[in-house]
Structure 1
Amino acid sequence: MTLTGIGIAGCGRMGAPMLAALRAAGFDAKGFDVRPVTDFGTLAPHMLPLPAFRDHTETLITVVRDIAQTDDVLFGAQNLVGASPNLRSVLISSTLSPRYVTDLRARIPDHIALIDAPMSGAAVAASEARLSFMLGGEIRDLDVHQPLFDAMGAHFHRMGHFGAGMQAKVLNNLLAASNTAMTRLVLDWADAAGIDETRLLDLIHTSSGQNWFASGFEDIEFTRDGWQPDNTIGILTKDVASALDAAPDQADTTLPETVQAAIRALGPRNQHTKSS
């Protein structure tokens, strides 16, 4: 199977740099988004209107926000599964409920290969083509599509059957949400104690409290944001909800629900001025 006709649906903060990385690697990749083409700067020439995107796309990568938008892309307003004559594979790179993802197999014709390929690393990693992908699907399908992941990422974790990649991703993001909530709380408490932010983050990076959010605090674009329904902090609450949706029967969900509430309560954090 030759990888041609690559299409990315959802060219936002993650999808746009993924499209750029694929094109830089020489793939015939095009994008589609509901926003105007003029919003995409240097990528604008590679954005297609819906009819042309349908005709172009053989391998579809979805990077939209949530289940409702994914349903629109696959079956609803865009209907790429039903209206793309050459569609051969669908790669789900949004972070969604594993239950929803697993159920897609029964909704999409068998001749279309399905891979769940959620990623981690934030926009900074997407722009540097060093994302971490958590992959689920048939081994032969993963092998065929590996060149795409190689172009966009640096770490690849094959988790098992279709749906296993998404299950691993929401568990990973549950930890990320926990680290986010606790790191922000720790920094607020440090402010109250008069401890310099940079010095404390340097300490955390080399000590037992080390975590991705704290270690990348100056590089990750959303570390100082407050919760908004449409920003990355807001997406974390959605990701915790996805993990909760796939929680084992009779699981104690008190801690994840507490983390979710703490994320939702976050306000903006002021830009730090380094002390001498």
Structure 2
Amino acid sequence: MKIGFIGLGIMGRPMAGHLVKAGHEVTGYDLNPVEFGGALAGGVAEAVRGADVVITMLPADPQVEAVFPDISANARPDALYIDFSTITPQTSQKVAQQWKRSLDAPVSGGEKGAVDAVLSIMVGGSADDFEAARPVFEAVGKTYKLVGGPGAGQYVKAANQLVVGGTFALVAEAIVLMEAAGVDATAGLDVLAGGLAGSRILELKRASMLARDFRPGFRIDLHHKDMGIILDAARGAEVAIPMGALTAQLIAAARAQGHGGLDHSALLKVVEGLSR
């Protein structure tokens, strides 16, 4: 397929590259141009003109809202629009009202998942458009599910970020507890990872957290944005998420302390500070 891909950042660049490797004709655009294996456009209009599929992978609602007018003015009216960004369900629903073939398809897996093409993709939209998008999902992800109508993908992504943030906070507390007690935290986390407490976070992040290596795969700043989406979604659904609210405060504290550019595993720095 001919694909216009907007947003070639930490996640978008490897995703676009996988689409090229899968045989698609990809034209990409980013404010900071980077090589990804396909053609580079000088703007949004050039990237999407004549495309069968238009893709955005952008940081937040304002960026999606900023590029959508250029997409709607220049893309073919029958083009399929896939938004991999993590934004509010309301923005995804508004886009769906303005573009007849659109899918909200936020992803989970971080930079490593994008590089390895094993992302988990939660999709909102119609069954027909989901099937049409399957070749795209197959190229960039391992798990992809249609979870409901427009905006549904964003609600599931909110739930994902809720669990991820809370798990990071608890792993951080476990590390602080074990180290303060003088036990071998490395061996301790190895045991935890092999039992009921095991998780992808323990699998992928325990070594870097113990080493205090917080090079960003997914930044605190972005998780802070996501926690705002989560709290707003809970308010709209009229449900209480007390653990989510506490996690949001810990992530806000990390950002306020100047750690916004670090990986979200840097919640460990906040938890350590509480016991000093």
TM-score (norm 1): 0.83
1:9 matches 2:1: no
Structure 2: which 5+ runs fail to align?
260-265, 270-276
The equivalent residue for 2:49 is: 55
**Residues 23, 117 of structure 1: CA spacing in aligned structure 2 closer, same or farther, 3 A cutoff?**
same
Q: RMSD of the alignment, in Å?
A: 2.6
**Residues 150, 219 of structure 1: CA spacing in aligned structure 2 closer, same or farther, 3 A cutoff?**
farther
Q: Secondary structure at the match of 1:135?
A: strand
1:90-129 alignment, distance < 5 Å? 90-106=81-97, 108-110=98-100, 113-129=101-117
1:46 matches 2:39: yes
* Distance in 1 of aligned mates of 2:218 and 2:122: 22
Q: Secondary structure at the match of 1:159?
A: strand
Which of 145, 150, 157 is the aligned partner of 1:157? 145
Paired residue type of 1:177: G
Kept after mapping to 2: 8 A contact 1:204/1:215? no
Paired residue type of 2:85: S
Q: Secondary structure at the match of 2:205?
A: coil
Q: Secondary structure at the match of 1:265?
A: helix
The equivalent residue for 2:251 is: 263
Which of 96, 114, 126 is the aligned partner of 1:138? 126
Kept after mapping to 1: 8 A contact 2:5/2:48? no
The equivalent residue for 2:189 is: 201
The equivalent residue for 1:179 is: 167
The equivalent residue for 2:214 is: 225
Task: Give the CA deviation at 1:6.
Answer: 0.6
Kept after mapping to 2: 8 A contact 1:99/1:246? no
**Residues 207, 265 of structure 1: CA spacing in aligned structure 2 closer, same or farther, 3 A cutoff?**
farther
Q: Secondary structure at the match of 1:246?
A: helix
Task: Give the CA deviation at 1:264.
Answer: 2.8
Report % sequence identity. Answer: 24
The equivalent residue for 1:274 is: none
* Distance in 2 of aligned mates of 1:149 and 1:63: 13
**Residues 166, 121 of structure 1: CA spacing in aligned structure 2 closer, same or farther, 3 A cutoff?**
same
Count of residue pairs brought into register by the alignment: 254
TM-score (norm 2): 0.83
Paired residue type of 1:141: D
Deviations 1:228-275 (A, max 9, x none): 9x96222112112111211144422432221011123346569xxxxx
Q: Secondary structure at the match of 2:82?
A: strand
1:214-253 alignment, distance < 5 Å? 214-217=202-205, 224-225=213-214, 232-247=219-234, 248-253=236-241
* Distance in 2 of aligned mates of 1:49 and 1:87: 23
**Residues 156, 101 of structure 1: CA spacing in aligned structure 2 closer, same or farther, 3 A cutoff?**
same
The equivalent residue for 1:81 is: 72
The equivalent residue for 1:20 is: 17
* Distance in 2 of aligned mates of 1:89 and 1:62: 11
**Residues 239, 211 of structure 1: CA spacing in aligned structure 2 closer, same or farther, 3 A cutoff?**
same
* Distance in 2 of aligned mates of 1:218 and 1:28: 39
Kept after mapping to 1: 8 A contact 2:96/2:103? no
**Residues 7, 208 of structure 1: CA spacing in aligned structure 2 closer, same or farther, 3 A cutoff?**
same
**Residues 74, 135 of structure 1: CA spacing in aligned structure 2 closer, same or farther, 3 A cutoff?**
same
Kept after mapping to 2: 8 A contact 1:18/1:129? yes
Deviations 1:77-105 (A, max 9, x none): xx211233466121111111112212222
**Residues 220, 65 of structure 1: CA spacing in aligned structure 2 closer, same or farther, 3 A cutoff?**
farther
Deviations 1:23-57 (A, max 9, x none): 1110111211011x3xx24x276221114213253
Structure 1: which 5+ runs fail to align?
271-276
Deviations 1:192-248 (A, max 9, x none): 222333212211111222222122116889x8439x9x9622211211211121114
* Distance in 2 of aligned mates of 1:242 and 1:259: 13
